[in-house]
Structure 1
Amino acid sequence: MSNEVILRDAPRTVLPPEGGKPKAKGKSWTSFLKLAPGLILLGIVFGVPLAWLLRMSFNAALPGGLIQEGVSLNSYSTFFEASFNLELIWRTLGLGVVVTAGAFLLGYPLALFLLRTQSRFKSLLLVLALAPLLTSAVVRTFGWMAILGDRGIVNSALTGMGLISEPLKLANNELGVAISLTEILMPYMILTVATGSSRLNDAVLEASATLGGNAVRTFFRIILPLTLPGILTGCLLVFVLTISSFVTPALVGGGRVFLLATEIYDQAVQSLNWPLGSAISFILIALFAGVLVGYQRLMARLDWNRS
């Protein structure tokens, strides 16, 4: 029997198309239907209010708090034409950087300690580190007002010890706001670093010690790279919460610290200029989007370097 007959009579194997296994019919629709309830809920809870806010930003504000329906970029142009508003953007971003750096410098060592400790009280220590999250930010803000005030605990203690003759200006300024927000948001940094560093274990550290790595080299070559995803996530969370915070800057700042969030409140509640307040809100959302894009690129580069 010739080879042609053998090849002709042999059973044919149908190869799947390029890209892997052929998709089953209706599978995509099934996946969409599973996601539909969550997508609808997100659209109602987040999409509708944002759409209404976006529409409001294109209206025109009239004297007396009246609003003229229409499509106009007057609110956006009014915001960017004022140099004071541009300073608000830089001041808000600067405060976010300072608070994020402070939360990292104070929270990262605590997170590593909680992650590496072998104490039987480890669970209790973790609860104590995250306990401030169980207290309202308003309550903690009032606590910092009592601590940083001219007659607060810090100034009273320093005056009583004779170290200062006049109270330090720790409140009603950006310094007090930065100190307060650093403490208030530091638990988020601790939580994200501790939960995002699962790849750091005893085996890796023992391997580094076996190969002759000292404490400094082990930290920069092993510990820091393995905890970097948690660090980036914690910095993102703290930065976003800082630039969007209103209560702490308004109370600790004493009405003297002007940020984007406080300006939104002033325009919407005090000046009754809802279109301008809505426009500032979307400018703040644009800053969020820019930070998220940068975060995703850093994470993608980090994953690429690992691979």
Structure 2
Amino acid sequence: MNERRNWLPYWLSAPGALAIFAFVATPLVMTLVLSLYLFQPDGSVGAQLTLYNYDQIVSDSYYLEIFARTFGMAGLVTLVCILIGVPEAYVLSRLSPRWRAVSITIVLGPLLVSVVVRTLGWAILLGNEGLINNVLVATGVVKQPLRLMYTFTGVVVALVHVLVPFMVLAVWASLQKLDTTTEQAADSLGAGLTTVLRRIVLPQVIPGVLSGGLIVFALAASAFATPAIIGGRRLKVVPTTIYDYFLNDLNWPMGAALAAMLMAIVLLVSVVLNAIVERRYRQVFV
């Protein structure tokens, strides 16, 4: 006698699936379809399907430079977040519960403030007359204020401040599953701190580093407010270019094509990086 299938899980998940389809999948499909049309000189959208927008993106050095800057910035932000977030998460996991609660509140502080407010705060700090330049000039480190606003460096600094909590939380979650007795056993057998971190701690936190890195990379590549305010009009990245095409030039097909390319590249990088890290993880540590 066949057992009756339990449909309750399907009914419970149906509202969430419908919401995702309506508010996520449908807009993405509409954006992809819109990118296959051509923008007309009179401001309308043509009726013929074409790959002209994508051909322009991959053949024009202007767009290639913007994509290179965007993903170069995202990669650098991810690397800096890993270098800061992994040690910070390790220290956080070793604190007493009282100090851990205080430290987590401090780590999550940037996420409790609006991204625009945080970015405007960095604009004040990084300006020619900002706190950072005033301190550097007053202490004699530099004679002239450093140009930090409207630069690649300024955008990276501001994005790291915004996104490093995601890396800390991802690695900290992995460290919660770490068996501290293995570290104690390695220490009792004469392994130094470097060996313990490399052979015991690192292999177990790689999943957290990978997940945190993918989150940071995706958010940095798609960030709009921080590059728009700190980078200004001269430091163009893909999200600000999409904004200009949609709202300034009203060239929706090209803006949609740029958005589709950005999403596709982020997904491709995530899948490839995940596969590479997992393969190396198995070869080195298993």
Task: For residue 89 of structure 1, report the CA deviation from its aligned partner.
Answer: 1.6
- 1:143 corresponds in structure 2 to 121
Inter-partner Cα distance in structure 1 for 2:75 and 2:236: 16
Aligned length: 285
Q: CA deviation at 1:66?
A: 1.8
Give the C-alpha shift of residue 119 in structure 1.
Answer: 5.9
Within the candidate set 135, 154, 174, 2:152 is matched to 174
Matched residue, 1:116 = 94
Within the candidate set 13, 29, 34, 1:56 is matched to: 34
Answer yes or no: is the 8 Å Cα contact 2:175–2:204 preserved in 1.
yes
Q: Is the 2:90–2:175 contact (alpha carbons within 8 Å) kept by the matching residues of 1?
A: no
Q: CA deviation at 1:196?
A: 2.1
CA-to-aligned-CA distance 1:33-77 (integer Å, 9 cap, x gap): 454333222111111111111111111101243212331112111
Question: Hey, what does 2:21 align to over in structure 1?
Answer: 43
Equivalent of 1:214 in 174, 179, 192: 192
CA-CA distance at 1:84 after TM superposition: 1.2
* 2:141 aligned residue: 163
The RMSD of aligned alpha carbons is 2.1
Show the counterpart of 1:196.
Answer: 174
Superposed CA offset, 1:188-213 (max 9, x none):
11111111222323212111112211
- Tell me which structure has the larger Cα radius of gyration: 1
Match of 1:84 in 2: 62
Structure 2 residue aligned with 1:107, among 69, 82, 85?
85
Q: Corresponding residue for 1:291? A: 269
Q: Which residue of 1 aligns with 2:241?
A: 263
Look up the equivalent residue of 2:59 and give its one-letter code.
E
Whether 1:231 aligns to 2:231 is no
Tell me the distance in 2 between the aligned counterparts of 1:172 and 1:30: 54
Which residue pairs with 1:282 in the alignment?
260
- Amino acid in the other structure paired with 1:102: V
In the other structure, the counterpart of 2:218 is: 240
Structure 1 unmatched runs, 5+: 1-21
The 3-state SS of whatever aligns with 1:62 is coil
Which stretch shifts more, 173-182 or 25-34?
Answer: 25-34
Return the TM-score normalized by structure 1. 0.86
For residues 265 and 230 of structure 2, the distance between their equivalents in structure 1, rounded to whole angstroms, comes to 24
Deviations 1:162-219 (A, max 9, x none): 2222110111110100111011111111111111222323212111112211111111
State the SS of the aligned residue for 2:98.
coil
1:300 Cα deviation after fit: 4.7
CA contact (8 A) 2:203 2:281 kept: no
Secondary structure of 1:63's aligned partner: coil
2:132 alignment partner in structure 1: 154
Distance 1:230 1:122 in 2: 19
Tell me if the contact between 2:127 and 2:133 (Cα under 8 Å) persists in the aligned partners.
yes
Asked whether the equivalents of residues 197 and 229 of structure 1 are also in contact (C-alpha less than 8 Å), the reply is no
State the identity as a percent: 33
Q: Which moved more, 1:27-36 or 1:220-229?
A: 27-36
Residues 38 and 45 of structure 2 are in contact (CA less than 8 Å); yes or no, is this contact kept in structure 1? yes
Deviation larger for 232-241 or 294-303: 294-303
State whether residues 141 and 180 of structure 1, in contact with CA within 8 Å, keep that contact through their aligned partners in structure 2.
yes
Q: Which moved more, 1:295-304 or 1:112-121?
A: 295-304
For 2:25 and 2:121, locate their aligned partners in 1 and report how far apart those are by CA, in whole Å: 36
Bigger shift: 44-53 or 156-165?
A: 156-165
**What is the alpha-carbon distance in structure 2 between the residues aligned to residue 80 and residue 248 of structure 1?**
26
Please report the TM-score for the alignment, with normalisation by the length of structure 2.
Answer: 0.92
Find runs of 4+ consecutive structure 1 residues off by over 6 angstroms. Answer: none
Which of residues 47, 53, 75 in structure 2 aligns to 1:97? 75
